Amino acid sequence: MSKKLNFSLLKKDSLIKVIIDNIKSLAIALIIALIIRSILIQAFVIPSGSMKPTLLEGDYIFVTKYNYGYSKHSFPLSLPILSGRIFYSEPKRGDVIVFKYPGDNSTDYIKRLIGLPGDKIQLINGDVYVNDILVVSEKIDESVPNSQYDISTYKETMKFDSQAEKTYNTWRLKRGLYKVDYISPFYVPKDSFFVMGDNRHFSKDSRYLDVGFIPKDNLVGKAQIIFFSINGSFLEFWKWFTEIRFERIFKPIR
């Protein structure tokens, strides 16, 4: 009787030990994942078309967190672990950046950085001037296939003495005079940035008062690469063969 009792206790102790070991392993894995997400790299999915043609709905991207240093927005739920920004390195014009929307400091936005602190910005007929230098814009496609709107594709080139040439494509509506295409000269405030979406007439960005300038502390990271892309729901795996955009997988974000 005593042997059976001891055997039962032994099995119970072993089971408890296994459970405790598993909990420890899960906790360690979670901590490592949080460290990687906060300090190194984080995955995002693109929910809208504001960055077309660079990024499409259903693109899954990796964003590196270390490029611009760290603030509380580097951490999950923007935990107030840090005050201000540490290890800061200024972004470059033309970078595709993820940041917290200034209106609520919690929603993630992704746009292209156009103006740095102190830059003079002006828009004339959709053309962008930075410090009185035109961001060269060349129409490369008269229309976008399968679009319900009359859209043309432009290649924009940023070339400034202080940084390497940056080239990317944008979309613009063809007809009409649009208010967001004409902005009087202004200067970007200290510790702030001016951003625009590549889909110029379908992007809520710094041209609108409810977005405005992006504070330095709201920077989350730099968009680097598309690691997966699907024209539909990721959960509908039975459609993957026809819906996955294989040509976009591992495509660098320019």
Catalytic positions, please? 50, 111
- What is the SS3 assignment for 3? helix
Element (H, E) at 65: none
* Exposure on the CB side of residue 38, measured as CA atoms within 13 A: 17
CA dihedral 74→77→81→83, nearest 10 degrees, is 70
Query: Is residue 144 exposed (0-12), middle (13-18) or buried (19+ Cβ within 10 Å)?
Result: middle
| Phi-psi label, residue 235: left if phi above 0, alpha if psi -120 to 50, beta otherwise | alpha
Query: Is residue 63 exposed (0-12), middle (13-18) or buried (19+ Cβ within 10 Å)?
Result: buried
Record the tokens describing residue 82, joined without a space.
């840090």
SS3 content of the chain, % helix, strand, coil (to 5): 25, 35, 40
DSSP string for 171-216: EEESSS--GGG-EEEEEPPTTEEEEE-SBTTS--STTSTTT-PEEG
